Amino acid sequence: MDRRHIFPTYAPPAIQFERGEGVRLWDDAGQEYLDFISGISVNTLGHAHPDLVKALEAQSRKLWHLSNMFDVPGQSELAQRYCHLTFADRIFFANSGAEAVECALKTARRYHFEKGDESRIEIIGFDGAFHGRTYATINAAGNPAYLKGFGPALPGYKKLPFSDMDAFQSALSEKTAAVIIEPVQGEGGLRPVSPENLNLMRQLCNDAGALLIYDEVQCGAGRTGKLFAHEWAENAAPDLMATAKGVGGGFPLGMCFATEEVAQYMVPGTHGTTYGGNALAMAVGHAVLDHLEKPEFLSHVQKIAKQLREGFETIQSECAGTIEEVRGKGLLIGAKLSVPNIEVRNAARDAGLLIGVAGDNVVRLAPALNVSCEDVAEALSRIRSALELVKSKQSASEQA
């Protein structure tokens, strides 16, 4: 593994994965791993799903790319399908989560501009948020570590404590363009926003004339057992929503969903992308949605999520001093640990289980949504062993 000519932004472990199938990955030595992180909530149907392979292969023989200067095959149909299933009237296709969020932020500011309210530029975000790595998205999330060294913070971004509805209410003003929030915080430590708070935020945004943006890049695409996570709240439909990751099942695809009211102003010349929503992405996007839109697919997610949550709770009660709190929603699940999360992630990997970490000393799981009960049981047993190993090492070193 000679990474000398790659930007040193990542430091992966010395494993060379070669092949995947379902929730399994194999390295070049033939070692098998259970993949319970799925490229961070991306491989919705696991690796090499036959329907996705078929869709991509078939499209690859017809047409790859046109750019959006022509009508791209599959776009109208995929937009129509998603709009039919959600609050949205229109969709902008992009390649990634950050681009989908950028589109939402630009659309929000443009809306107020077109309404003659040019001073409404403020975007309110929350502690622990993650919205991507572009300039606008690092400013929207306001994580100091991600802003450091990249020049002055952009004007018009404000950050509030997570879940503090009083602070939220007083922060809204005639300057607020939009509020951006993940219905379930991913990177920030798997923190769901309660349905009551989402409903309340919707109401307060309406009263203040501010737009509500959801970042469902990680928690969308069926991950919580609803097509989109905010659907767990009854009266909390947003004006704009960014999604990506899982909707492409491993092919780069981002989408910005919008109501007609806000999308109407994004006319030719206001925004664009070369690759966004190309024909290959559309073919895969349709094949992923063929699965996501089935009620029995989402009820499977809910069933498996219950099994995982209960499994974590059992470990919490039986292995003292390992799990502080079970976290997350649906199959974006994990735990805040009492032992170091990175050590547990590494011990799990040594035991053939791939999991992730998140802020607040959390271990994060995001398996393929079609994972079986048997594979979940095996993963839970490997997590338990990893936790016990790290715990016993810690106890040994404390005694020494």
Q: Edge-to-edge strand order for the sheet containing 362-365?
A: 323-329, 332-337, 362-365, 356-358
Nearer to ligand PLP, 98 or 237 (CB): 98
Nearer to ligand PLP, 157 or 386 (CB): 157
Residue among 289, 255, 274, 218 at smallest CA distance from 55: 289
Q: What is the dihedral of CA 369, 12, 95, 275, to 10 degrees?
A: -130
Question: Which residues, including other chains, have CB under 8 Å from residue 294's CB and lie 6 or more apart?
Answer: none
Minimum separation from the CB atom of position 230 to ligand PLP (A) = 13
Minimum separation from the CB atom of position 295 to ligand PLP (A) = 26
Minimum separation from the CB atom of position 134 to ligand PLP (A) = 8
Minimum separation from the CB atom of position 101 to ligand PLP (A) = 6
Minimum separation from the CB atom of position 96 to ligand PLP (A) = 3
Cα–Cα dist 364/186, whole Å: 8
Minimum separation from the CB atom of position 131 to ligand PLP (A) = 5
Nearer to ligand PLP, 219 or 315 (CB): 219
Q: Does 244 bind ligand PLP (CB under 6 A)?
A: yes
Q: Does 288 bind ligand PLP (CB under 6 A)?
A: no
- When binding is defined by CB under 6 A, the residue of 20, 22, 186, 238 that contacts ligand PLP is 186
User: Where does residue 65 rank: exposed (0-12), middle (13-18), buried (19+ CB within 10 A)?
Assistant: exposed
Cα–Cα dist 227/87, whole Å: 12
Report the 10 Å Cβ neighbour count for 96.
21
Minimum separation from the CB atom of position 233 to ligand PLP (A) = 17
Window contacting ligand PLP (CB under 6 A); options: 128-136, 156-164, 194-202, 358-366: 128-136
Q: Does 215 bind ligand PLP (CB under 6 A)?
A: yes
Terminal C-alpha separation, the chain: 37
Nearer to ligand PLP, 139 or 218 (CB): 218
Cα–Cα dist 162/160, whole Å: 6
What tokens appear for 359 in the block? 């802020």
What tokens appear for 198 in the block? 């989402």
Q: Does 143 bind ligand PLP (CB under 6 A)?
A: no
Report the 10 Å Cβ neighbour count for 325.
15
The residue with its CB nearest to ligand PLP is 97
Query: How many chain residues touch ligand PLP (CB under 6 A)?
Result: 14
Within residues 88-127, the interface with ligand PLP by CB under 6 A covers 96-98, 101
Q: Which residues bind ligand PLP (CB under 6 A)?
A: 96-98, 101, 130-132, 182, 186, 215, 217-218, 244-245
